[in-house]
A and B are shown apart, each in its own frame.
Chain A
Amino acid sequence: MSLNAYLTLAALVFAIGLFGVLTRRNAIGILLGIELMLNAVNINLVAFARFHGDLRGLVFTLFTIAITVAEVAVGLAIVIVIFRVRRTVEADRLDLLRG
C-alpha cells in the first residue's frame, strides 16, 4: 500500500480520537480518546520511517510510546484524586477553572 494510505488511516484514527476527546463525558473516556490520537501519530511516524528508509522514525516511536505510558499513569492518578475529592469524574461537573 502506498504511503498515503497509511497516512490517511492515521489521520482517520486521529480524527476519531479527537472526536472522542471532545464528546466523552467521563474523564477516563477522554483519556481513551487521547490514547487513540497518540496511536495515530505512531502509525504516521512508522509509515514515514519505512517509506523514507529513515531509522529515526522508529526510534521516535519508541520514545513516544514510553512517554505516553508515563502520561497515562500520571493522568489516571490525577483522575483518581479528583474522584476522591469531588466524588465525580464527569467532565461536566469539573469547572474549577471557570473565570
Chain B
Amino acid sequence: MTLEMVGFWMVAAVLVASSLAVVLTPNLFHAVLYLAAALVATGLVFLLLDSPFLFAVQLLLYAVGVMTVVVFAIMLTERLVGERIVQTSRSLLNGAVVAGAVFVGVVGFLIRAPRSVLRPTLDADAIPAIGRALVGPFAVTLELLGLLLVVALLGALYFARTDE
C-alpha cells in the first residue's frame, strides 16, 4: 500500500460520501455545503493525479466562486424568515435504478479494459506546457471561451435585473 493508494482511498471515500449527501440531504443549504466538500475532494483527486495547477483552479473557481453564486441564488429564491428549507425528492427508486444502470453500463466498458495501465513518468512540468498550449494551438478556443464568458455574464445580468 503506497502512500498514493492510501490517499486515493481516503479522498475517494470523502468524495463519494459528500456526493451522496448532496443528493440525499433534505436541507438545500446543507446540500450546498456538502457540494463544496465534494468539490474540494475533487481538487484533491487532481492533486493525486499530479496536477497542482488544476487543483488550484478547481478550488478557486468551483469551491469558492460557484458556491458563492449558488448560495446567493438560494437566498433569493426561498421565502425565509425562520423557515427551514425542506427538500423531499420524487420517486427515489426510479432515479436510483436509472442512475445505477448508467453506472453499470459505464463500468461494463471499464471491466473490458486492460487491468493496470502504468503511469508513465513525468518528464516535464505541465504548467508551462499548458500555458504554451493555451496561446498556441488552443488560442482560438481560449478567445471563444472568453467570448462565452462575456455573453454568459451579460445574460445573467439581463435576467437578474429587476424591471423598472
Q: Which residues of A contact B (CB under 8 A)?
A: 1-9, 11-20, 22-29, 31-33, 35-36, 39, 42-43, 46-47, 49-53, 55-56, 58-59, 61-63, 65-74, 76-81, 83, 89, 92
Contacts and interface: CB of A to CB of B under 8 A. Distances in A.
Interface of B: 4-5, 8, 12, 15-16, 19-20, 22-23, 28, 31-32, 35, 38-39, 42, 45-46, 48-51, 53-54, 57-58, 61-62, 65-66, 69-70, 72-74, 76-77, 87-92, 94-96, 98-100, 102-103, 106-107, 110, 113, 115-117, 119-120, 126, 129-130, 133-134, 138, 141, 145, 148-149, 151-153, 155-160
Interface-centre pick from B20, B23, B39, B157 (highest chain A CB count, 10 A): B23
A10 B113 CA distance: 16
A48 to B, nearest CB: 10
A72 B70 contact: yes
Contact of B110 (A7, A13, A74, A83): A7
A43 B152 CA distance: 25
A58 to B, nearest CB: 6
A35 B77 CA distance: 19
B163 to A, nearest CB: 9
B116 A2 contact: yes
B49 A32 contact: no
A23 B95 contact: yes
B74 to A, nearest CB: 6
Nearest to A91: B90
29 contacts: A4-B113, A8-B107, A13-B16, A14-B102, A16-B19, A23-B95, A25-B88, A29-B87, A35-B39, A36-B19, A42-B46, A49-B49, A49-B51, A56-B133, A59-B130, A62-B57, A66-B145, A70-B151, A71-B152, A73-B69, A73-B155, A74-B155, A74-B156, A76-B69, A76-B73, A77-B156, A79-B77, A80-B159, A83-B76
Given A19-B99, A22-B99, 14 more contacts: A2-B115, A3-B117, A6-B45, A11-B103, A13-B19, A15-B106, A16-B22, A20-B23, A29-B31, A35-B39, A58-B51, A66-B61, A66-B145, A68-B62
Nearest to B73: A76
